[in-house]
Structures are given as structure tokens and as C-alpha cells.
Amino acid sequence: MKKALLALIVSGATSGVALAQVEIGLKVSPSVTHLRADSPSNYGFENQKSKVGIGGGIIVDYFFGQNYAFSTGLELTGKGGTISYFDPSQNRRIEQKIGLQYLQVPITVKLFTNDIATDTKLYFQLGGSLNAAIAGRINGEKRYTDAGTGQETKAAKHVIIPDAGLRGGFGVEYQLGQNTKLLAGLSYHRGLFNIDNYFGDERNFKEVELKNSEFALDLGIKF
């Protein structure tokens, strides 16, 4: 009886180890980003243009079932866009081209289908990410002189450092060899925080909101 119980425990532990596997890879993600701008009508903040960027990083997929994985990693990506607003001190509209760099840690779940063709599966990814701004430029420069005040500030100080986002996406994964997989997918990243750290504090503009949005093409390889 004791031998049978021990064999059952060992068998279960072995099955759990076999089932819980980790796949690590690299990805590159060309993207189109913009800033969702909102404010009272007297300031008239608007999104004017999107920004084309590129990001990439490490993928870590931890499988807790045959077709289910917790997906995380570390990403470096560019965000931002061009906004415009009405500046009462100059009585005209101003445009700002904002470029930001973020480090991101995804916290998502990937759901895989069974094979839809030989060695080919679809996947769906849902979850979020924790993000931190590490650099910024306004109109291509690291420093910005506001014509309304004449004050020079660091562009990176115009946004708060932390951000968080929701993300959803889908794609296809192809088994190239015993341990190698190629993937291609599309994803949408929606920032949750108001990242403005300038207009409210330095210009005393009330209720200004700037939030990140990103559409990305995810291309990667797992080993």
C-alpha cells in the first residue's frame, strides 16, 4: 500500500514537472502609437498625429497546461505622438511632438488552440503590463522651452514615470524544430494612467489628460 502511494505521488510530481515548462524567446515589435488627449474646451487638447516606433524584448511563457501559459518578459518600446492645444497666453494653437521610451513588464495569459495546420497554432493574449518611462523628447529635443513662459525644462520631466496598461492580442505560432517556434501577431496596448506632469503643475491648466495607446506587430522566436 505504501509503495503504491509513493508511486502515485512520484508519478503526479513527474507529470506536473513535465506539464509546467518554460519557453523563452526574443521579439521585435514595430508599432503605431498616439496620445489620447482630453481637456476642458478652453484648452482644446487634441491628438494630431500618430508616431511610428519600434520595440522589442524578451518573452517568457510559463505553461501551466497544454494550451495555457502565463506570459511575461521585459520590453523596451517607444510611445508618444503629436498633440495640439490652445495656449491662452499666446492666443494661438501650439503643437508638441512627444516621443517617449518605456520599459515594460507584461502580465498576461496566453491561450493556444490545438493545431489548425501542421505544427501551427493560434494564440490569444489578454492581460496588462507595468510600465516605466525612462526617456523623453519634445519636438526631437531632450529639453523644451515653453514660448508661453520662456522656461526651459527637461522633456522627460513632462510625464510621470509609472504607467500601467491593458493589452490584448492574437497571433500564430509555428513549430520550426524540436525546441524552436516562430510567432507573429497583432496587439493593442491601452494606457490607464494620465501621464501629464507638466501642463497641470507648470502651466496650471486644469483637468488635462494624456494617455498612451499603441498598436503593435509582434514578431518573435522562442527557443
Model's pTM, two decimal places?
0.88
The topology under which CATH files domain 21-222 is Lipocalin (2.40.128)
Q: How far apart are CA 118 and CA 112, in angstroms?
A: 14
Amino acid at 4: A
Give the number of other Cβ atoms within 10 Å of residue 211's Cβ: 18
Average pLDDT over residues 6-15: 42
Does residue 106 register a pLDDT over 60?
yes
Does residue 15 register a pLDDT over 90?
no
Average pLDDT over residues 93-117: 97
Sequence ranges of the domains in the chain: 21-222
Name the one residue in this structure whose C-alpha cell is 522589442.
Answer: 56
Does residue 161 register a pLDDT over 90?
yes
Does residue 99 register a pLDDT over 70?
yes
Q: How far apart are CA 1 and CA 103, in angstroms?
A: 55
Residues 37-60: pLDDT tens digits? 999 999 999 999 999 999 999 999
